A and B are shown apart, each in its own frame.
Chain A
Amino acid sequence: MGLIEAFALQAAQALLVIAIAPLVTGVVRKTKARLLMRRGASVFQPYRDLLRLSRKEAVLAVNASWLFRAAPYVIFAFTWLAATLVPTFAFDLPLGPSADLIAIVALLASARFVLALAGLDIGTGFGGIGASREVLIASLAEPALLMVIFALALVAGSTQLSAIADFVQSPAVGLRTSLGLTLVGLIMIAIAENGRYPIDNPDTHLELTMIHEAMVLEYSGRHLALIEAASSLKLVFYISLIAAIFQPWGNQFEDGGLRYFVALGAYLAKTLGSAVLLGAFEVTVAKMRVFRVPQFIGVALMFGLLAGLLRLVLRGM
C-alpha cells in the first residue's frame, strides 16, 4: 500500500465517521419511535437539527469564561480523533501505531474532563449535578473498560486495535468464553458511557436523573451543534470499536478496487444494524436510579475480570 493511498484511506475514514454519526443517532431514534408505535422523525432529522443549530446565533451566559467557549471545539476534536483511530473499513492505517486502545480510550476521557468542566463554568445547579454524576459514572466505567482491554490483550497479545482484529480473524480463534465475556462487558460499558438507557435518558431535558443533558444545558447555537455532533460521534466510536474487535469481517478480501467497497458496505451494515439493536434494547428496559448505576458497571467490571482470570487459569478459554 503506497503512502498516499494509506493517508487517503485515513482521511476517508475521518470523514466517514463524521458523515454517518448523525445518521446512526437518527436510526436509533427512528427504531425506538417505530417500536413505540409512533411514526417518528426521519432518520435524517439529526442532520437538519445540526444545520439549524449552526445557523442560529450562540447565546452565552454573561459570566461564561474562555473555557466555556473553547470546550465544544476541544470536545469535538478529541472525540473525532478517537473515532478516526478505530478501524472502520480499512484496518492497517498509517495512524494506527500512534495510539493503542488505552490511548484511544484516554482521548475520550480528556473530552469528558473538558465537558464536565464546561458544565461547572456557568455556576448553575444543573451544570453541577450533570458534571458530578458524569465523573461518578466515568470513574466506574474506566477501570471496567481497562479490565476488558486487559482481557482482550491477554487473548490477542496486544492492545493495538489492528493486531486484535487480525487475531480475531485468524482461524485459530474458535468460540471463546473469555471473548464472549469481554463482549458483554464492553457493550455494558458502551451503554453507560454513551448515557443510553438504562443509565441515562438521551431524549429528555429537565429530568432529575439526567446527566449529559444537564451539563450542556447552557449551550446553544454552533456550540451546541458541536457538542451534539460529538456525542453522536462517541456512539459511532463505540459501535465501530465493538465491530472492529468482535466482527472484523468484510475486510479480508484480497487487493482490488472492489475490496474497499465491500468493506465499506459491511461496515455500514454492521453500524446501522447495531443502531437498530440499540434502539430495540432501549425500549425494552426502564431507566435505573443513579445509585444503581455502580452495580450495573460493577457487573461489567466483573465480566472483564472473569475473562482475564479465565484466560490466566485456562489457556484455552
Chain B
Amino acid sequence: MPIGVALICVLGLLATAGLAIGLSRKAIATRVIYGASAIICGVALANAAVGLDEAISATLTLPFGLPWLGAHFRLDALSCFFLVVVNLGGSAASVFGLGYGRHEPTPGRVLPFFPAFLAAMNLVVIADDAFSFLVSWEFMSLMSWALVVSHDRSSENLRAGFIYIIMAAFGTLALLLTFGILAGPDGNYAFDAMRAHTLAPGGIALVLLLVLLGVGSKAGLVPLHVWLPLAHPAAPSHVSALMSGVMTKVAVYAFIRVVFDLVGPLDWRLSMIVIAAGAVTALLGVLYALMEHDLKRLLAYHTVENIGIIFVGLGLALAFRANGLIAAAALSASAALFHVFNHSVFKSLLFFGSGAIQTATGERNMDHMGGLIRGMPKTAMTFLIGAAAISALPPLNGFASEWMLFQAIFLSPKFPQLGLRFLAPASGAMLALAAALAAACFVKAFGISFLGRARSAAADAAQETDSWSLTAMFALATLCVIGGVVPGFFTNALAPASHLLTNGAMPILNLTAPWTPLLPAAANPNSYSGFMVAVMLLAAAAATLLFVRVFANRAIRRSPAWDCGFPDPSPVTQYTAGSFAQPIRRVFGTIAFHAREIVTMPRPGDLAPAQFQVSLHDPVWNAIYAPLTRGLGFVTDRMNRLQFLTIRRYLTMVFVTLVFLLLVLAIWA
C-alpha cells in the first residue's frame, strides 16, 4: 500500500532524527544519519514514482490529531509528483552530506534537524486535512529555522533566522485564515469536505489572495521574498539546497492544492494576479541576483526568479482552464510542474557546488575566488552544467520547460478576454528578459568564481572535493542532461498530475523513438526535439574536431597571457562580480534599485587614490518593510507605558474590556 510506505518513510526519518540526538557526540553519527536519510528518501522516491506512474488515489485516516477529525492522509498523482521532488532532493542532499557533513564544526546542531526537516516536507505533501497540513507546515518551518540558525555565532545568521521566523509565522497565519474560509461555517477541516463545499465569488478571491500571501512568503514571491536570500545561504549548503530547491516547491504544492483542487473553478480575472505576480517576481529576482557577489545569496535570488517562472505557468494554466482551453491549460500546467522538477534538480546541484567551494576555500564571496576550475575540475564541470541548465540553454532541462512555457504563451491569442491577450505576451517578454539576464548572471557566477586567476591564496590552493559530494553532483548533472535530451519521458510521467489539475494532458510521446519531437498541444504545430538537437550537436562537434585534427596544425605552445602586450601580474586587475555586472547595473539598476556610482578623483598632482562607490537601494525593503518596522517600533514604544501601571488601573482596564466584549455580543445577537 503506497500511502503506508510513505508514512513508514516519514516515521523512519523521524526515528533517524531521534537517533541523531542520541548519537550526536559520536564520530560515526554523520555517516549513520546521512546514510539512513539517503536510503529512506530513496525508498520514498521509488514509492512515489510508482504511485505517479499508476496514478493512484489512496487515503488513510489515523486516530490522532483533532479528536473529531483524525489525521487524514492522501496520495494522489499531484502529491506523488511532489513526493518525487522532495525525496529526490532529500536523497541527493543526504549523499552530499555524507562528504560535506564531515567538515561541519557542530554536527550536533545539524544532524537531528536534517531528517526531521525531510519528514516534515513529506508530511505536508501527503496531508489531507487542514489540521495535519498546518501542523506539518509549521513543523517544516521550525526545523528549517533550526538549521538556519545552526551556526549562530554570526549576527548575520541570527538576523536571518529572526526575519525568517517572522515571515514564516505570517505565512502560516495567512494559510490558517485560508483554511478557515475554505472550511465554511460548519468548520469541516478535511480536504474532501472543502472540495465539496463551494464558495461565493468574493470568498474565492479572498482565498486566492490569502493563499498567495501564505505560500508566497514561503516560496519567495516578491515582495514577500526578503527572508529568502538571508536565510537560505545561512544554513549549511546541503540544507540550503533543500530549502531553495525543495521547500519552495512544497510551497508551490500548497498553492496548487488549494487553488487548483480545493477552492473550485476560478474566475479568469484572478488568474491575472497570479501571472502578474509571477512575472514581476521573475524579473526582480534575477535583477537582485545580478547585483550580488555572495555566491549563495546569488543562488537564493535565482530561486526567487524561478518561483516567478513557475507561478507564471500556474497562472496561465488557471487562465486557460477558466476559459475551457483544456489543451493549453494542460501545456501550461505541465510546463510549470516540469520546471518545478528541473529547478529542484539544478538548484540543488548549484548549492552543492557552492558548498564544495566553501569546503575548499572557506569563501562565499566570489571576489575572493577565481581560477577554481584548475583545482576543482570536476566540481567546475557539474557547476557549469547546472549553470547552463538554469540559464535555459539547449539541450538541457531548463530550456525544455521554459520552451513549453513560451509555447503556452504563444497560445494566448486564443483568450477571449483582451486583458489576458495583452498580459500573457507582456509576461512572456518579462520572462525572456529574465532568462537572458539569468544567462548573464551565470556567466558572472561561473566566470568570476571558477575562471580567471585566483584572487586569494585560499582559491589558489583549492583542492577537489570528496567523492560523496561529487557523486551527488554528478547524479544531478546527469538528470539535467536527461531532462533536456528526453523531456518526453518527464511530460509523459506528468500526465496524471496534469489531468488532476486541468482535466487534460500533453500529447503522450512514444519513448521507444526518443527522437520524437515534443509537441506542446495537438493544435500547436511547433515542435522541439532535445534528443535530435543533442545528437546533431554531437555530430557537428565531432565533424569539426575531426576536420581540425586532419587538416589543421595540431601544435600547441604555452606562453604568458598576451593581453594586448601589457599583461598585469596582479590578479586584482581582473573583472570582479561587481565590475562584470556594471553595464547591467547601469541599464536596469538605475531604475530598479536607484543605483548610483560616485567616482571621486583626486585633484591633478595629488597622489591620493581615486575613490569609487556604488549605492544600491532595495525598493521592496524601503517601500514596505522599513516603514512597517518603523511603525511597529513607534507603536510598541507607546504601548510600553502599559507595563508600568498600578494594579488599580489594570483592574479598570480588565473591567472596561469585559463590558466592551459583552456589549459586542449583545449587539451581535
Contact = CB atoms under 8 A, between A and B. Distances in A.
A139 B432 CA distance: 9
Contact of A120 (B447, B541, B545, B559): B447
A8 interface: no
Size bin of chain A's contact surface = 35 or more
B583 interface: yes
B533 A54 contact: no
A92 interface: no
B587 interface: yes
B559 A61 contact: yes
B429 A113 contact: no
A247 B379 CA distance: 48
A62 interface: yes
A61 B561 contact: yes
Given A81-B537, A222-B552, A126 B563 contact: yes
Interface stretch (B147-155, B260-268, B448-456): B448-456
B575 A132 contact: yes
B281 interface: no
A59 B559 contact: yes
A136 B587 contact: yes
Given A138-B439, A308-B425, A97 B527 contact: yes
Interface string B540-565: 11001100100111111111111110
A99 B515 CA distance: 12
Contact of A136 (B374, B440, B557): B440
Contact of A76 (B421, B433, B439, B544): B544
Contact of B575 (A55, A58, A77, A120): A120
A84 B540 CA distance: 10
Contacts of A106: 392-394, 399, 403
Contact of B562 (A66, A110, A217, A309): A217
B602 interface: no
Of the candidates B446, B532, B552, the one having the most CB atoms from chain A within 10 angstroms of its own CB is B552
A159 B432 contact: no
Interface stretch (A38-46, A142-150, A182-190, A277-285): A142-150
Given A73-B541, A74-B541, A128 B574 contact: yes
Nearest to A112: B439
A142 B432 contact: yes
Contacts of A55: 552-553
A154 B422 CA distance: 13
A124 interface: yes
Contacts of B584: 135-136, 139
A123 B451 contact: yes
A308 B432 CA distance: 15
Nearest to B565: A206
Interface in A59-93: 59-67, 73-74, 76-78, 80-81, 84
Nearest to B549: A222
A61 B422 CA distance: 51
A191 interface: no
Contacts of B373: 65-67, 121
Given A120-B575, A136-B584, A217 B443 contact: no
A117 B403 CA distance: 24
Nearest to B524: A158
A24 B367 CA distance: 42
Contacts of B558: 59-62, 64
Nearest to B286: A139
Contacts of B437: 139
Contact of B394 (A95, A107, A126): A107
Contacts of A66: 373, 377
A290 interface: yes
B560 A110 contact: no
Contacts of B556: 57-60
A54 B541 CA distance: 17
B16 interface: no
Interface in A282-301: 290-291, 294, 301
Nearest to A106: B394
A123 B371 contact: yes
A95 B536 contact: yes
B166 interface: no
Nearest to B448: A120
Interface of B: 370-371, 373-374, 377, 380, 384, 388, 391-394, 399, 403, 406-407, 409-410, 413, 418, 421-422, 425, 428-430, 432-433, 435-437, 439-440, 442-444, 446-448, 451-453, 515, 517, 525-529, 532-533, 536-537, 540-541, 544-545, 548, 551-564, 567-568, 571, 573-575, 579-584, 586-587
Counting from the closest, the 7 A-B pairs by CB-CB distance are A128-B575, A123-B452, A120-B447, A135-B440, A98-B532, A57-B555, A123-B453
18 contacts: A59-B559, A81-B533, A97-B517, A97-B527, A113-B388, A113-B439, A117-B384, A123-B571, A127-B575, A131-B575, A132-B582, A142-B435, A143-B429, A147-B432, A163-B525, A218-B563, A291-B583, A308-B425
